[in-house]
A and B are shown apart, each in its own frame.
Chain A
């Protein structure tokens, strides 16, 4: 299996003066293979979201390298990072983060249009059909329920068939029933499409069996579990 994500010695230190420096991530290394469903778990302040921001190229590490789909992301310039994010990384946030000025369909079309790919409407409609939102396509994004918005966000995250979908507490703002359906949807996308997911969560139980678990504590990735077996 090919590695979709390979992190080596990742460190993130905030603050310029030594006295005020905070180490959010310390020498984190792990890798994730194509088609895996991985969880990043840990308590608040453990560095989960910082790690996700680094993987999603939203922030730059102080040291270390991140390979996504075989590309050393530290060598990309700003414009290339945007393009890379657009094509290789999909995001699903805690609060769905659909653009309220657009319809559900337009939100899903957006990354496809940014990539300059044709037939964005057809592709977006197909994805929305797959997540069960065909009826809500023309609704404004702020007029659908939280669960529907999160499904739409998953569709948007998958729009350009990225190498990696990053989800930051995707069920954190949902009731238990809706959470289960969203988890089920992500897992089904993982199994049917072979899509790699990296999910940051507090609620490991909601996700049941996964391919890999990365435990974060005080900025360190303490253990990596593969199908329940310590790696």
Chain B
């Protein structure tokens, strides 16, 4: 049998539909704001990590304190290939150069273009950078080059098959120029891929810089990214006499991500402030409910209800508001998250958000909203108990 206090709490609340809807909406909107914030800002953060991992850093990035790795990349790649948690590893070589193209008798030139040397066979196993080639194909030979869409624009609209010149300054300070055929054009939403780079064969770039056998970094992809720290530690322990720097994505991209994390924390704080505003809205609505039920409180007191019973009735209303609001808000938030995930929602029509159902966060949000609603009901409930029956009966 349902406790009479719960029955009264339900009836009194549900018969005041306006107040009920107002209070529930306050909780629902508070939760929904946090869910939307999470989908957008955490999704954006995760999307940056995803893209940085996929295109630039891998799950672990191995570099050297002296900027260039002198040890043979074959030795390092072979070492990683023996670790079960490693899916693939690939060497990369980075530099800067100039690119020019002659069109209609005139030469168009761009300076300080980031050049990326890749091993076409190993790179497509460790990175999805090759999938960003929107037109043409990835680097496949010593003289093929993939240009980022931004460079293509700077060069006045290069097409696949065009011939271009790339110039670098080698380790001896001499200019080295090679001619390449554009094999592909890379473009990614949000420009996190190779949009601002030119990709060539790693051996060609080494040769141009006269850095045979050197590597800038080893990009390591894992089956399970959560194992990054253990693989990193194992790697560093295996090469104690080298000056390798091995970092997880969070470490290697720390500079890019630190500001982002602060931004997310601030946005979440604003969201929680919003939730606290919802709590104040509940206090106001419940105070109205208590004032509207002064007569009923007097009647209940006159027929024997104790102060404690009145307190319980109005706290139960807070529990009901919190429960319904938390359920509705979480439901709406999940629906929005599902929609964002299914439609591959993009941020500002560019980078596709990395949408995940973060159950601990979802649970925490729902419980916080529920707790705040119950907390918000304490003061009005207490006020209800302070009504003297004889005063309350004057409203009769």
Residues in chain B near residue A115, CB distance under 8 A? 304
Tell me the complex Cα distance, A82–B301, Å: 7
Partner of B302, one of A56, A106, A113, A160: A56
Given contacts A53-B390, A58-B390, contact A85 B8 (CB under 8 A): no
Q: How many A-B residue pairs have CB under 8 A?
A: 72
Q: Is B296 an interface residue (CB 8 A)?
A: yes
Q: Is the CB of B306 within 8 A of A82?
A: yes
Tell me the complex Cα distance, A111–B306, Å: 11
Q: Is B299 an interface residue (CB 8 A)?
A: yes
Chain B: interface size category: 20 to 34
Q: Is the CB of B12 within 8 A of A110?
A: no
B residues 266-321 in Cβ contact with A at 8 Å: 295-296, 299-309
Tell me the complex Cα distance, A101–B393, Å: 17
Residues in chain A near residue B308, CB distance under 8 A? 79
Q: Is A217 an interface residue (CB 8 A)?
A: no
| Interface mask (A170-190 → B, CB under 8 Å = 1, otherwise 0) | 000000000000000000000
Q: Is B15 an interface residue (CB 8 A)?
A: yes
Q: Is the CB of B390 within 8 A of A86?
A: no
The size of the chain A interface, using a CB distance under 8 A, is 29
Stretch in A91-99, A129-137, A204-212 with 4+ CB within 8 Å of B: A91-99
Residues in chain B near residue A82, CB distance under 8 A? 301, 304-307, 309
| Interface mask (B358-396 → A, CB under 8 Å = 1, otherwise 0) | 000000000000000000000000000000111001001
Minimum CB–CB distance for B162 against chain A, Å: 80
Residues in chain B near residue A114, CB distance under 8 A? 4, 303-305, 309
Residues in chain B near residue A59, CB distance under 8 A? 388, 390
Residues in chain A near residue B15, CB distance under 8 A? 100-101
Q: Is A109 an interface residue (CB 8 A)?
A: yes
Q: Is the CB of B8 within 8 A of A91?
A: no
Q: Is B212 an interface residue (CB 8 A)?
A: no
| Interface mask (B337-369 → A, CB under 8 Å = 1, otherwise 0) | 000000000000000000000000000000000
Q: Is A17 an interface residue (CB 8 A)?
A: no
Given contacts A102-B8, A110-B4, contact A97 B299 (CB under 8 A): yes
Minimum CB–CB distance for B13 against chain A, Å: 9
Q: Is the CB of B303 within 8 A of A156?
A: yes
B residues 1-29 in Cβ contact with A at 8 Å: 4, 7-8, 11-12, 15
Tell me the complex Cα distance, A83–B8, Å: 19
Tell me the complex Cα distance, A56–B299, Å: 12
Q: Is the CB of B299 within 8 A of A79?
A: no
Residues in chain B near residue A97, CB distance under 8 A? 295, 299, 396
* B interface residues, Cβ below 8 angstroms from A: 4, 7-8, 11-12, 15, 295-296, 299-309, 388-390, 393, 396
